[in-house]
Each structure stands twice: as C-alpha cells, then as structure tokens.
Amino acid sequence: MSRIVLYDTTLRDGSQRAGISFSVADKVRIARRLDQFGVPYIEGGWPGSNPKDAEFFAAMREAPLRQARLVAFSATRRAGVRCEEDPSLKALLDAGTEAVCVVGKSWDFHVTQALLTTLEENLRMIGETVAFLKARGKEVIFDAEHFFDGYRANPAYALACLRAALESGADWLVLCDTNGGTLPDALAGVVREVRAALPGARLGIHCHDDSGVAVANSLAAVQAGCTMVQGTINGYGERCGNANLCTVAANLELKLGYSCLPPGALAQLTELSHFVAEVANLAPREEQPFVGRNAFTHKAGIHVSALMKNAAMYEHIDPAAVGNRRRVVVSDLAGRSNLHYALGERRLTDAQARSLLEQVKGLEYQGYQFEGAEASLELLAEEVRGRYFTLEGLRILVEKREEGGATAEAVIKVRVGQRVIHTAAEGNGPVNALDAALRKALAEVYPGIDRVRLADYKVRVLEGSDGTGARVRVLVESTDGRRTWGTVGVSTNIIEASWQALVDSLVYYLWKTGVPVHAPAGAATPGVE
C-alpha cells in the first residue's frame, strides 16, 4: 500500500480565514491533538511575522510533540540581502524546529511585479535560502507559490525555480495552486510533466478552494505522482479556504487505497474535525463530507425504506469508519420507515405509525421541525407530556432602565400531584427567567432536574411578512453531562414557544431517567401575562 504524507497547515494557512483568531494556547491544543491523531507534519506558523507565532514555538520547545514533525514557515531571503543578515531567516532558525518550510515565487509575473526584482535574482534567492538552511541541518520543504499559474505563463522558468531548490538540497518540492483557479485535469497534467522533468524529486501539492475543487485537485495530484498533501482541518483558510484534510484523508484511505494515517486513526476523524471547530470558535459545517452531522442523515421516506433493507443503498461508506453515525430524521417528507427507524426499540404498529406520521406532518405544517428535536418526537409518540406536572399560571415581568440592561422576573405556579408549588426567579431576559423559575419549582419534587442545563437555544422567525406578530420556532438543546437531546416549540408568542421547548426538555429527562410520575394526566398551556 503506497504511503501519502499529510502536512497540516491549520495553524498558519487555516488561521488566515476571516473569523479565526487562535491564541497561543489554542495553537498548542490543536498541535497536540493533531500529533495524537497521527499527522506527520504540523506547520505551526511564521515566527518572523508576529510575536504570537514566536511565542508558540517557544512553548512547543518546552514540551515537544510525540511523533509529528513541527514545521516553522518563512519566505526566501529578501532580494539583495544575504541569508545570514535576513531577519526572517534568523527568526526561522530561532524557532528551533527540525523541519522548515520556505515559500518562494515561481510565477515570473510575481517576481517582477510583487518582489520588484529580476528573474535571475529570484532563482538565487531560492537556491541560497535552501542551501543556507540545509547547511544548518534542517529538513527543507520548498513551497513553489503560484506554481500552476507560473507554469501556464512560463513553464521553463517555473521549472527553473524548482530546480534551484532541488539542486540546493530541498527535501520536498510542493506545487501550490495559490489562487485556486486550476481544474483537476489541467493540474494533473502539469504534475505529470514536472515528474518527467525532475525524476526522483519528492513532490507535494498545496491547493486552495477558490474554484471549489481543492480536494479533487489534491487527489488528482496524488494520482499523478505527488506523495505529500498540504491542507487544513475542515478546509479553513483565506478566501474560500484550503484543501480539507478531513476529506482528503478519508478519500485517500477509503477510496484510493493509499495509507496516510496510523491504523485506527481514521475512526477519530469526526472527533478531530469537531475539536478544531470548537477551538476555532466556529460551528461545525453540518454538510461537510464524511464528518458533518448531516453526512449520513436521511430524511426522504423512500431513502429510509431502502436504508432499512441495506445501508449501502444510500451510504457510500460505513459512518463508523470515520467516527460518524447514521441519523434518520422525521419531517413532512417522511414515511413510516422514518418513524420506525427514528423511534428504534419502540415498535409501532402500522396503524400507530400512520397516526403519528399524520400528527408530525400536521405539526410541521404549523412550523414545527423535528429534525433537531428528536426528544419532542419521542414524547409525542409516547404521550408523555402532562404526566409529571401541569401549569397553574405564569407571569413574566421585564424591567428596562435608562442606564443598564433589561432584567426579567418569572413568577410560576405548577401542580405536581396534589401539591401546588408557587415560586419566582430572575434572569437576564424573559426566557432565562422562565427557565430558572421552572427548574426552581420542579427541583423541590424532582431534585435530579438540576443536572439538566441548556446547551443551545435557537429562535427562527417562520413568517417574516407578519412582522412582530410572526410565528416563531424555538429549538432547545439540553444536556445532563452525558447525553444531549433537542426539543421544539412553535407559537406567535416567543415565550409560549420557549415554554413548550423547555417543558419537553425537562420532561424528556425525567422520563428517560425513570423518575416516578407524581402528576395527574392532562397538560395545561401557559397563560402569559
């Protein structure tokens, strides 16, 4: 099995994405997770460009990585400046890494218009920089910037840039599609021509996604002869991003028969993707191939019916291979198969499934959505609502002063069996106060309720043309520290919709944990004043 080397540049190229600002601690955490995952090269940043990257490399020297090679990045020496006198190269050496990556221009247009130097001087800059670093014992990876644009414009000069690096001792020659404008067939053709021109050179590929084909280009380059792929986790990067290493790695191992990760690592791919998104403070992209929440989510009834017979009918791989899982959601597009699958061990008769499906479709017509509210669907199927408590009354007061923010107080009265509990709580808004008051009331009878907390709260306006009187949908995600579940509420009153979702959240927890029921049947609706 052929080996492909993965080179991660999330901490440099990935950090150039708008909206990402890694702290030094963030970078250390990601580097250690990538090392644990099994990525062989981790590019940490450009130590000569900012104090943060210099501090990161200093921190990493104190506690080196276990198996990965940490890489420091820089440009070639400046035009007219000796390598020994170039401050960027001094900072590169000060980073103390065994491997370094040097970027150099390979497009004559950039040499004359961006560097404002001659083509001959640029070749000297590349060769002398590589030789300077090799003389100091470094593994040198040479990134040929704008290589494919340069090759189209002046193939002889683009190849001369690669030769200058190779003849000076570069260990890797990486061909960069920096502007992301090259398509797979053209890119693969150029890689094959470079292989023929430079036999024996170890080639890498670095693609940007401006044409939406960074992953396809990376795979095409591998099939044409590249043995290193540079990219970022989740495809983070400037403009449209870089090649997504999550997608690249899965395709290399599962589709093309290459080896690029240690045995068993691929099953941790989804966890890695979500970890990096969390540290970057970005929501995971749900439709992302292989690792996205929706990558193996099925909604159409005809699909689910076939899926229950054989998952291969609508899944190209086993989700577990990349650490993901299959989901079946229930909506107005669902069939009975969706219900049977989603409700699992609760075996519905066909008559029960038809009845429940009609309820679901009717509720979705009103604006309910059960795709992210599986707990509400289970409560609907089991008719659990109203068993644990009923609402006697609810009043919410909001106070806004000229100075300072608004505060809210919720006064609530609930009945649990024969007992009426009347209490109040404050919050920074009406929903926060409502949540606090309901928990406070129920904790007197159901003390375990304190384990539940809100993990997420979303509001969507369903009919914007109705202005402030529009119907809204509230989706609540709750957790007890072990499990996470979603519930939903819909109303023209945001407090009413929030109440529905909050009640479902707490009732679901009580029901799933086997708490005894103390309330009479028959749910009441809140009177919001």
The mean pLDDT of 292-315, rounded to a whole number, is 65
Chain centroid offset of residue 474 CA: 24
The mean pLDDT of 276-291, rounded to a whole number, is 90
Q: Give residue-wise pLDDT tens across range 363-373.
A: 666 666 665 56
Q: What distance in Å separates the CA atoms of residue 526 and residue 412, rounded to the nearest whole number? A: 10
The mean pLDDT of 212-236, rounded to a whole number, is 98
The mean pLDDT of 44-48, rounded to a whole number, is 93
Query: Mean pLDDT for the chain?
Result: 86
Is 461 in a helix, a strand, or coil? Answer: strand
Q: Which long-range contacts (CB under 8 A, 24 or more apart) does 356-362 make?
A: 356/380, 356/381, 360/330, 360/331, 360/332, 360/334, 361/332, 361/334
Query: What six digits make up the tokens of 210?
Result: 């401006």
pTM for the model stands at 0.72
Chain centroid offset of residue 309 CA: 31
pLDDT at 380 (0 to 100): 66
User: Looking at 48-131, which runs of residues are DSSP E strands?
Assistant: 69-75, 99-105
Q: Hey, which CATH number is domain 390-512, 3.30.160.270, 3.90.79.10, 3.30.70.1350, 3.20.20.110? A: 3.30.160.270
Q: Give residue-wise pLDDT tens across range 463-510.
A: 655 555 678 888 888 888 888 888 888 888 888 888 888 888 888 888
- Kindly indicate the confidence band of residue 322, based on its pLDDT and cuts at 50, 70 and 90: very high
Q: Hey, which CATH number is domain 6-279, 3.40.50.2300, 3.40.50.300, 3.20.20.70, 3.40.50.920? A: 3.20.20.70
The mean pLDDT of 75-79, rounded to a whole number, is 96
Is 274 in a helix, a strand, or coil? Answer: helix
Q: Give residue-wise pLDDT tens across range 168-202.
A: 999 999 999 999 999 999 999 999 999 999 999 99
pLDDT at 520 (0 to 100): 40
Identify the burial level of 179 via C-beta atoms within 10 angstroms of its C-beta, where 0-12 means exposed, 13-18 middle and 19 or more buried.
middle
Which of these ranges, 126-140, 202-216, 321-335, 506-520, has the smallest mean pLDDT?
Answer: 321-335
**488: enclosing H helix or E strand:** strand 484-491
State yes or no: pLDDT of 524 exceeds 80: no
Q: What distance in Å separates the CA atoms of residue 372 and residue 234, rounded to the nearest whole number? A: 23
Q: Where in the chain is the domain with CATH 3.20.20.70?
A: 6-279
Name the nearest CA neighbour of 72 among 136, 119, 2.
136
Q: What distance in Å separates the CA atoms of residue 133 and residue 86, rounded to the nearest whole number? A: 12
State yes or no: pLDDT of 336 exceeds 60: no
Query: What six digits make up the tokens of 152?
Result: 């189209």
Dihedrals phi, psi of 12, to nearest 5 degrees? -115, -70
Q: Where in the chain is the domain with CATH 3.30.160.270?
A: 390-512
Name the nearest CA neighbour of 16 among 235, 297, 207, 167.
235
**217: enclosing H helix or E strand:** helix 214-224
Name the nearest CA neighbour of 427 among 449, 454, 393.
454
State yes or no: pLDDT of 529 exceeds 50: no
Q: Which one-letter DSSP state was computed for residue 482?
A: S
Query: What six digits make up the tokens of 132?
Result: 């300077």
Residue bearing the bigger pLDDT, 480 or 362: 480
